[in-house]
Amino acid sequence: MIRTLRFWILTLISFSIIGILTSSLFSSYLVTKDSLIDNSLEQNLVYSKKLAEMSEELFSSMQLNLEGRKADIIKLLDNPTELTIVLNQLIVTSKNFNSVSVIDKNGLAIATSPNVGIAGTVIQSEGVKEALDKKENIITKPYMAATGRLLVLVSTPLFNEQNEYLGMLNGTIYLEEDNFIRNILAEHYSKDGSYVYVVDHSGTLIYHPDEKRIGEIVKSNEIVESLIRGDSGASITENTKGDLYVAGYTLIEASRWGVVSQTPYASSIEPLAGIIWKIFLYALPFIVLFLVVAFVLSTKLASPLQKLAKYTMDPQFNRNELEIPTWYFEAKQLTETVENYRKKQEETVEDFKTQSLTDPLTGLKNRRFAEYLYSHLIESKNNFSMIMVDIDFFKKVNDEFGHNAGDEVLQFLAYRMNRVTREEDYIIRLGGEEFAIVMPNTLLEEAYRIAEILRKDIESTLPPTNKAITISSGVGEYKYKAEAISSFMDRIDQALYKAKSNGRNQTIISKYSK
């Protein structure tokens, strides 16, 4: 069977459409997959950081509770009855301890609350020995107590006015019973199989959704190894059962414990198939329309050669009725058609790429865009300043008003940042409630001025919740070749952390020093 020119034109166009569509879908698949994984990594990292911050604050509160009662405890060391009353008050006010006790320098339990049956006995447990040896504020690793419970000891030493060591005041956390760790971590914000676990500095599970695993040593896990080294971050990893997870992990400095938030890898990329299918459906009408146009054009393109073929086959054909355009005209038309389609597909791919660089909630640029921007600024040898912004107590907004209201607050902040920044500035949502404003060719003083304008504007303007919010900011200037971009980001982040540590609602400048 002899194929006509129209058949081959249609075949060529069809293969071109399939090739371009396939490459478009494949590139969209890769970009979207990377974006979903990066987003999941960022969410888990931010979540683990928030949980670590909450735990850090609770540990500080626990130590302060113990420190605040030391003077009363020292006065009553010789009066177990009165001492027990003070301990009863302490356990009620602290709320985070399962029990509290006073042990003298020889390990003798003087008083406990509640009564766990150890008062008047010498305690030989591992945690008590460690606290007696160190004579300082410590949080012990998990150990089995004399009462048969797996627990962690939070201890503060007791010294008299002559600086003589008298013993210690302890608070205990029962790992296998209700405790503050379980209250914070028991339910992950995501319902897709994600969960949180906590390990101590030796790689022992302090908390795990599977209670049977509490006390298990898991230091062979690569994320746990990183936490033991004192690192925080995010990565794709296998758990001890060989399942693939997307995880974020953060070290709690006060206790040297590590918080790990992880999501099943399959759950992270679950939306991928639906997204690619939608892209295909959006492109389908254009494909159908183009095929119809291609059929009509191929008929017109083949018509002159078809007439010429008929003429060569029939000598009686009337030459005067034969009109044949030049071959170059036909080739030009076909090339332009394919080129127009290619451009349309490239625009579609570019649109997908733009979407992957934009935060869908606020309309600002996202962390992926930030990486491109830093590379561009460094390649162009430009100095720039940066303002890193974080909403103070944002979790309270979500807890009090719900996540929808939290999203509206984020959109409100994005709008206010757009109002106070310049056209040439870039506003980026780094993740959660953390933002960055990159200001090319801007000195530190000008960046600080704008940061303060923004801070005061937010402080004095009511968000959609009608409850005032504040922000904390870190500001710094990057000078070309003076430091690595990672070091620059770290010190801006430290400035932001200092602003929050110093009471929030303030702007801290980070100056470069060699």
Whole-prediction pTM value?
0.48
Question: Are the C-beta atoms of residues 194 and 44 closer than 8 Å to each other?
Answer: yes
Model pLDDT, residue 466: 92
Model pLDDT, residue 310: 64
Rounded distance between C-alpha atoms, residue 133 and residue 304, angstroms: 101
Model pLDDT, residue 304: 66
359 exposure class (CB count in 10 Å sphere: 0-12, 13-18, 19+): buried
CA atoms within 13 A on the CB side of 310: 13
Rounded distance between C-alpha atoms, residue 263 and residue 299, angstroms: 55
Rounded distance between C-alpha atoms, residue 263 and residue 261, angstroms: 7
DSSP output for 207-267: E-SSGGGTT-B-TTSHHHHHHHTT--EEEEEE-TTS-EEEEEEEEETTTTEEEEEEEEHHH
Taking the CA atoms of 43, 48, 51 and 56 in sequence, report the sign of the dihedral they define.
negative
Rounded distance between C-alpha atoms, residue 76 and residue 112, angstroms: 13
Question: Are the C-beta atoms of residues 236 and 247 closer than 8 Å to each other?
Answer: yes
DSSP state of 148: S
Question: Are the C-beta atoms of residues 366 and 357 closer than 8 Å to each other?
Answer: yes
Q: Which amino acid is at 32?
A: T
For residue 114, cis peptide bond before it (omega within 30 degrees of 0):
yes
Model pLDDT, residue 331: 42
Question: Are the C-beta atoms of residues 301 and 6 closer than 8 Å to each other?
Answer: yes
Rounded distance between C-alpha atoms, residue 396 and residue 400, angstroms: 6
Checking 411-416 for CB contacts under 8 A at 24+ apart, the result is 411/361, 411/362, 412/463, 412/464, 413/362, 413/389, 413/458, 413/463, 413/471, 414/362, 414/363, 414/364, 416/454, 416/457, 416/458, 416/461
The residue written with tokens 């693939």 in the block is: 244
28: left (phi over 0), alpha (psi -120 to 50) or beta: alpha
- Rounded to a whole number of angstroms, the CA Rg of the chain reads 33
Rounded distance between C-alpha atoms, residue 484 and residue 473, angstroms: 21
Neighbours of 423 (CB within 10 A): 5
- Reading the block at residue 319, the tokens are 């030459």
Largest separation between any pair of C-alpha atoms in the chain: 131
The SS3 of residue 438 is strand
Query: Which one, of 193, 205, 180, 190, lies nearest residue 260 by Cα?
Result: 205
Burial 4-24 (b: 16+ CB within 10 A, else e): ebbeebbeebeebbeebbeeb
Model pLDDT, residue 1: 61
Q: Known catalytic residue: 339?
A: no
Residue tagged active-site, from 42, 433, 434, 477: 433
What strands lie across the sheet with 195-199, from one edge to the other?
Answer: 205-207, 195-199, 257-264, 244-252, 233-238
- Reading the block at residue 479, the tokens are 């000078």
- Reading the block at residue 509, the tokens are 């400048």
Strands in 392-432 per DSSP E: 426-431
Domains and CATH numbers, the chain: 5-36+270-347 (no CATH), 43-53+179-268 (3.30.450.20), 64-173 (3.30.450.20), 365-510 (3.30.70.270)
The SS3 of residue 144 is strand
Q: Which amino acid is at 102?
A: V
Model pLDDT, residue 492: 94
Q: Which amino acid is at 419?
A: R
C-alpha pair distances (Å), 254 with each of 61, 500, 510: 11, 17, 25
Question: Are the C-beta atoms of residues 437 and 448 closer than 8 Å to each other?
Answer: no
Instruction: Give the helix/strand (H/E) hosting 13.
Output: helix 5-68
pLDDT tens digits for the chain (514 residues)?
Answer: 667 777 777 788 888 888 888 888 888 888 888 888 888 888 888 888 887 787 778 778 888 888 888 888 888 888 988 898 888 888 888 778 888 999 999 989 899 988 888 888 988 888 888 888 989 988 888 888 877 788 888 899 999 888 999 999 998 888 878 777 777 766 566 667 788 888 888 888 888 888 788 888 888 888 888 888 888 898 888 876 778 888 888 988 877 888 888 888 888 888 888 888 888 888 888 888 888 888 777 776 666 666 666 655 665 544 444 455 554 354 444 344 434 544 665 565 566 556 678 898 998 999 889 888 888 888 888 889 999 999 999 999 999 999 999 999 999 999 999 999 999 999 999 988 999 999 999 999 999 999 999 999 999 999 999 999 999 999 999 987 778 888 899 999 999 999 999 999 999 999 887 6
With a CB cutoff of 8 Å and minimum separation 6, the contacts of 491 are 476, 510, 512
